[in-house]
Structure 1
Amino acid sequence: MAHGGATADLHIPRARPNLWKQLWLWVLAAMVIGVILGMFAPQTAVKMQPLGDAFIRLISMVIGPLIFCTIVNGIANMADMHRVGRIAVKALVVFEVMTLGAVILALVAANVLKPGAGMNIDPAALHGGANLGEYMEKAEEFGFSAFLLNIIPKTFVGAFVQGNVLQVLFLAMFSGAALIWMGEKARPLLDVLDAVLQMIFRIVAMVMWVAPLGAFGAIAFTVGKFGVGTLASLGTLIGEFYLVCILFVFVAAMPIAWWCGFSLYKFIRLFRDELLITVATTSSETVLPRIMTKLTDIGCEKGLVGFVVPAGYSFNLTGACLYLGMVAIFLAQATNTPMDLWHQLGLLLLMAITSKGAAGIAGAAFVVLTATIAMDHTIPVASVALMLGIHRLMSQGFSPTFIITNAVAAMGVAKWEGALDTEKMKAAIG
C-alpha cells in the first residue's frame, strides 16, 4: 500500500497556469487590437507611437547597467582569465559560423526567389527625403577606423549615457579582469554589483507589466504608417524574407539543439513572451534581461550567460546579415544592376564584417546597408530609398531571428564549455 501511494504521488498532474496571467496572451491581444486600429483608423494609430517608444525607453534605461553588472559579475566569479578567454573564443566561433550561414542562405535565397526581378526601378526617380539623408550622413562617418574608435568610450560614464552596447561591453571586460586581479579585496564591490543587478531585474519585472501597452502602440503605428499600401507594393520581398528567417532558425538552431539534447520547439515556446514583444517593438534589447534569466533557469551557468548573451548583441548579427544579404541583392535586381555570384558573395562578406561595428548605432542595419552599397560603387545608393517604408516591417522578421539564434548560441557555448546542467535542461525543455 505504501508503495502504491508513493507511486501515485509521482503522477499528480501539475496545476495548469492561469491563462489570463500569461504575458504572451496580453501582448498578442494588444498586437491584434493595434493591427485593427492601424487598418481602420491609420491617423489615430500613428499617434500611438509614443506608447511603443516609451516602453523601449523604459527598458533601454537599464540595459547599460544590466550588461555591465552581469558581465563584470560573470568574469569576476569565474576567477580565471584563461577561462574567460576560452569562453570568448568559443562564443566568437559559434557567432561567426552562424553569421556565415546567414550570409550563404541570404545569397542562395535572393538568387533563387529573385524578389526584385522585373521591377525595373529607375534610381534617378527615387528620393528618400530627410530620412535617407540622415542615414547617408551616418554611413559617411562609418568605417573601420571609426569602428575601432567607437569601441572605446570617451569617459567611463559616457558609454552608459550614450547607451552604446559595444562600449559598455568593453568597459565591463576590463572591469571584470581588474576585479579578478584584486582578489578578495574586490568582494565588497561584487556584492554591491550583485545587489544592483537584483534591483535592475526588479525594475524590468515592473516595466514588463506595461509591455502589452507598448506592443499595442508600436504595432498600431507600424500598420497605420506603412500598412496595406506598403505591404501590397513590396509584399513579395517581405513575405519571402520572413520565410527565409524561419528557415534559418531551423537550419542554424536545430544542430545545436540536437547536440545539446533539447527540443527546439519547447525552447522557442519558452521564449514566446520575448518573441512577441520583439516582433511588436522591433527592439531586441527590450527582452535581454528576461532571456538571461530564462537561460539560467534552464541550466546555463549564470556567469557564462552574463558574458555570452550580451556579447551576441555586438557580434552575433545573424538576423541583420539575412536582412542585408536579401535586400542588397533585391536592390540590384530591382534596378537591373548586373552582379555575378562572386561579386555578390564579396559584398555580403563585407556587410558581415562592417555590421560588427554598427552595434549601438540607431538604425544599425540600415546604416550598414547604405554604407556598404556606397563603398561598393555598384548598386545605386539612391535605390536604398525603396527600403525606407518597409525597414520596420523587415525588422519584425530579423529581430526575433536574432533573439532565438543568440539564445541557442549561448546554449551551445555552455554545452561546449561543460557549463550546462543537462538534467535541469531536460526537465524544462527536453
Structure 2
Amino acid sequence: MNITPQKPVSKVPKSTFQAIITNLTFWVLIAIIAGILLGHFSPDNGVKMKIVGETFVDIIKLFIGPIIFLTIVLGISGMGNLKKVGRIGVKALAYFEVVSTVALAIGVGVAYFFEPGKIDKSGLTLGDASQYTKGNPEDFSWLQFFFSNFTLQVLLAAIVCGIALNFYQKREQTILILERISNVVFIGLKYVMYLAPIGAFGGMAYTIGKFGLETLIPLGKLMLCVYLTMALFVFFILGSILKYYKISILSILKYIKEELLLVLGTSSSEAALPSIMVKLERMGCSKSVVGLVIPTGYSFNLDGTSIYLSMSVIFLAQLYDVHLSFFEILTVIGILMITSKGAAGVTGSGFIVLASTLTALHKIPVEGLAFLLGVDKFMSEARAITNLIGNTVATIIISKTERDFSELNLNPVQEE
C-alpha cells in the first residue's frame, strides 16, 4: 500500500520567532500595552507604578556624566587626524555644524508650529514643572547657572581635556584607555536598556492612570511630527543640497537601500558603517574623503538625532505647560549642538543626551522622560536612517567641493 507522506505542518521558522522574542522593541510594545491597560482599568494601581518609571530614569541619569565626558573627549581628540588633512577636516566640521544646527532649528520650528505636546488641559501638572524654575529672569547669573548644572561642568571639563589630549605626548595610549573605558560604559548602558520595557510599563501605567487615555494623543502627534520633519529634512534640505550638484536624492536613496534596510532592522546607523563606506567609494567619492568624513560624521553629524532631541524638548515643555523664552530656546539649541555629538550607533544614548539637556536646562521635569520612553524606541529607526542619509550626503558634498569625485556611478553593486 502506497502511503503518501503528509506535508509538514507549516509554522513560523524558529529563527523568525527568536528574532521577534529577542527584539527589545517587541517587549517595549508589550509593556506599553500592559501599562495602558493597567492605567485605564485600574488607575490607582497605575499611579503606584510611578516609582518604576522614575527608578529607570534615575538609573539612566547615572550614565550622563561618563558618557558625555568620554564621547566629547574622544571626539575632540580625534580631531588630531583632521589636522593632517587640513582643509578637508575644517570644511567637514563646518558642514556638520551648519547642517546639524539647521536640523535642530527645524525640529524646534515644527514643534512650535504643530504643538504636539498641547492638550486640552493646561499641561500635566504645573506644580511638577515649577520646582525646576529657579529664581526670576532678572536674577539670572551665568556663574550661578554654570555651578548649578553638573552637565555643563562635565561638558567644559571634557572640552578642555579633549583639546589638551591633542598636545599630550602619550596621546595614542591615553585614547586607547579612554576607548576601552567608553566601551565598558556603553556595554553597561546596553544592559540597562534591557530594562526599558519595565520603565516604559511604569511610565505609561502612571501617565494613563493619572491623566487618562487622552494623553496618548500628544504621543501620537509627536511621532507623526518627528517622522514628517525628518522626511522634510531629507527631501527638502538634503535634497536641495544635492540638487545644487545635479544629483537626485531619490537616486542616492535607491543606491543605498540595502544599508537603509539594515539600519531599519537594527535601529543603529553604525551597523551600516562598513558597507556604506565601500559603496561611497564605488559611487565615485575618494577613499581619503570617505575615510575621514564618514567616521567623523558619526560623531559630529547627527541630523536625525538633532531633529528628535530638539522636538522632544519642546514637546515636554508644551506637555508641562512650561514657557521657554527665546534665550532659553537658544540655550537648548546650544546645549544640543554639543551634547548630541557622539550619540549615534548606540541604543539608548539619544535618551541620555535628552536627559542631560533637561538636567542642564533646569526648567522641564526630567521625569517627563518616562512619558517619552513609551515611544522613543519607535522613533529610533527614523533617527538612525536620517543620520545615515545625512552622512552619505555630507561625504558626497565634501568630495564634490574638493574636486575629488570621479564620475558618478550609481549602478547596483555586483555580487563578487
**Could you tell me how far 1:34 is from its partner in structure 2?**
7.6
**C-alpha separation in 2, matches of 1:371 and 1:36:** 23
Q: Flag the 1:422–1:260 CA change in 2: closer, same or farther, 3 A.
A: farther
Q: Flag the 1:342–1:293 CA change in 2: closer, same or farther, 3 A.
A: same
**Could you tell me how far 1:125 is from its partner in structure 2?**
7.1
**C-alpha separation in 2, matches of 1:41 and 1:345:** 38
**Residue 53 (structure 1) aligns with:** none
**Residue 353 (structure 2) aligns with:** 368
Residue 97 of structure 1 pairs with residue 98 of structure 2: yes
**C-alpha separation in 1, matches of 2:30 and 2:277:** 38
Alignment of 1:196-345 (within 5 A): 232=216, 234-345=219-330
**Residue 181 (structure 1) aligns with:** none
**C-alpha separation in 1, matches of 2:357 and 2:391:** 24
**Could you tell me how far 1:265 is from its partner in structure 2?**
0.7
Residue deviations 1:25-74 (CA, integer Å, cap 9, x gap): x99xx88x98998799889xxxxxxxxxxxxxxxxxxxxxxxxxxx99xx
Residue deviations 1:62-115 (CA, integer Å, cap 9, x gap): xxxxxxxxx99xx79xxx94xx11100111121112112102211210011100
**Residue 340 (structure 2) aligns with:** 355
Q: Flag the 1:301–1:405 CA change in 2: closer, same or farther, 3 A.
A: same
8 Å contact 1:147–1:357 — kept in the other structure? no
- What amino acid sits opposite 1:262 in the alignment? I
Residue of 159, 171, 174 corresponding to 1:155: 174
**Residue 143 (structure 1) aligns with:** 155
Give 3-state SS (helix, strand or coil) of 2:277's partner: helix
Q: Flag the 1:116–1:89 CA change in 2: closer, same or farther, 3 A.
A: same
**Residue 121 (structure 1) aligns with:** 124
Aligned residues: 305
Q: TM-score, normalised by structure 1?
A: 0.60
**Could you tell me how far 1:150 is from its partner in structure 2?**
6.1
- What amino acid sits opposite 2:106 in the alignment? L
**C-alpha separation in 1, matches of 2:105 and 2:26:** 39
Residue deviations 1:215-245 (CA, integer Å, cap 9, x gap): xxx9xx98xx88x999955221111111111
8 Å contact 2:96–2:300 — kept in the other structure? yes
Q: Flag the 1:42–1:362 CA change in 2: closer, same or farther, 3 A.
A: closer
**C-alpha separation in 1, matches of 2:160 and 2:344:** 12
Q: Flag the 1:39–1:293 CA change in 2: closer, same or farther, 3 A.
A: same
8 Å contact 2:344–2:384 — kept in the other structure? no
Give 3-state SS (helix, strand or coil) of 1:397's partner: helix
- What amino acid sits opposite 1:337 in the alignment? V
Structure with the larger helix share: 1
Q: TM-score, normalised by structure 2?
A: 0.62
Give 3-state SS (helix, strand or coil) of 1:381's partner: coil
Q: Flag the 1:36–1:367 CA change in 2: closer, same or farther, 3 A.
A: closer
**C-alpha separation in 1, matches of 2:336 and 2:157:** 16
Alignment of 1:378-397 (within 5 A): 378-397=363-382
**Residue 109 (structure 2) aligns with:** 108
8 Å contact 1:325–1:348 — kept in the other structure? yes
- What amino acid sits opposite 2:99 in the alignment? M
8 Å contact 1:139–1:367 — kept in the other structure? no
**Could you tell me how far 1:339 is from its partner in structure 2?**
1.5
- What amino acid sits opposite 1:340 in the alignment? S
**Could you tell me how far 1:336 is from its partner in structure 2?**
0.4
8 Å contact 1:99–1:317 — kept in the other structure? yes
- What amino acid sits opposite 2:86 in the alignment? G
Unaligned runs of 5+ in 2: 1-14, 33-77, 130-148, 166-170, 184-192, 209-214
Further displaced range: 302-311 or 356-365: 356-365
Give 3-state SS (helix, strand or coil) of 2:247's partner: coil
- What amino acid sits opposite 1:344 in the alignment? I
**Residue 187 (structure 1) aligns with:** none
- What amino acid sits opposite 2:157 in the alignment? S
**Residue 416 (structure 1) aligns with:** 401
- What amino acid sits opposite 1:117 in the alignment? K
8 Å contact 2:270–2:345 — kept in the other structure? no
- What amino acid sits opposite 1:339 in the alignment? L
Identity of aligned residues (%): 33
8 Å contact 2:268–2:344 — kept in the other structure? no
8 Å contact 2:117–2:315 — kept in the other structure? yes
**C-alpha separation in 2, matches of 1:139 and 1:237:** 26
8 Å contact 1:274–1:291 — kept in the other structure? yes
**Residue 3 (structure 2) aligns with:** none
Q: Flag the 1:121–1:142 CA change in 2: closer, same or farther, 3 A.
A: farther
**Residue 132 (structure 2) aligns with:** none
**C-alpha separation in 2, matches of 1:163 and 1:343:** 31
**C-alpha separation in 2, matches of 1:358 and 1:37:** 23
Q: Flag the 1:39–1:321 CA change in 2: closer, same or farther, 3 A.
A: closer
**C-alpha separation in 1, matches of 2:160 and 2:347:** 18
Q: Flag the 1:424–1:360 CA change in 2: closer, same or farther, 3 A.
A: closer
8 Å contact 1:123–1:380 — kept in the other structure? no
**C-alpha separation in 2, matches of 1:338 and 1:138:** 23
**Residue 387 (structure 2) aligns with:** 402
**C-alpha separation in 1, matches of 2:27 and 2:243:** 41
Q: Flag the 1:41–1:349 CA change in 2: closer, same or farther, 3 A.
A: closer
